[in-house]
Amino acid sequence: MSQAKGFLAGCLTLLIILGALSFGTARAFTDPTSQGSQGDNGGTIQALLNEVRQLRLAIQRSNLNSYRAQVALERLRLQQQEVDRLNDKLGAAREQIAILQREKSNVSGEIQRLEGQLSQEADPSKRRELENQQQMTKLALARLPEMMSQARETESLLSGQLQMEQAKLNELNDRLDTFQKELENLANSQQNGNR
**Domains, the chain, ranges and CATH?**
2-194 (1.10.287)
Per-residue pLDDT of the chain (195 residues; tens, 9 = 90+): 444 455 445 444 544 554 544 444 444 444 444 444 555 788 899 999 999 999 898 888 878 877 887 888 899 899 999 999 999 999 999 999 999 999 999 999 998 998 998 888 888 899 899 889 999 999 999 999 999 999 999 999 999 999 999 999 999 888 888 877 877 887 787 677 665
- The CA–CA distances, whole Å, from 118 to 101, 179, 180 equal 26, 74, 74
Write down the pLDDT at residue 178.
84
Q: Is the dihedral of CA 81, 157, 173, 71 positive or negative?
A: negative
- Whether the CB-CB separation of 129 and 156 falls below 8 Å is answered with no
pLDDT given for residue 17 in this prediction = 58
The per-residue pLDDT for 147 is 94
pTM to 2 decimal places:
0.60
